[in-house]
Amino acid sequence: MLCVQNHPPVDYSLCNQTVTVYHKDGETYTQAVYTNAFLDFKKTQNIDKTGSREANSFLLVIPCSMQAVFVGDKVLLGVGAEVSTREAWAALMPATTPGLVVVGYVDTKYWRGRMVHVEAGG
């Protein structure tokens, strides 16, 4: 017998972190704080003939019904400061801001025709 669920077949219990998503649209800078996110950092290391090479990546999951993050957005673990100028946006860099990442891809996930969460990474 087929079992039909009324809720998405995904467990969001790990989505208990707070993140700030910074978005730039033209000359408008906005930020949104999400308290139901999951942000995981990963570092990989490859060793070949030329030596060692490290790569950093991340996965962000935000349960939502509307698009919450876009390619090029900046994401900070925790609640971040307000960014409202071009200078403040330019100063917000992963090299100088611990816990900050820049979104390289966004993948929206649907269940029964409606968006249930967005995955982003880089």
What confidence score (pLDDT) does residue 77 get? 95
The tens digit of pLDDT for each residue in 86-121 reads 999 999 999 999 989 999 999 999 988 899 999 999
Query: Structural domain boundaries of the chain?
Result: 17-121
At 5 the pLDDT is 57
- Per DSSP bridges, beta strands 105-111 and 100-102 are unpaired
Higher pLDDT, 14 or 56: 14
* Residue in 69, 73, 72, 39 with CA at minimum distance from that of residue 57: 39
Integer angstrom CA distances of residue 35 from 21, 26, 50, 55, 62 = 11, 27, 43, 28, 9
31-42 pLDDT, tens digit per residue, is 999 999 999 998
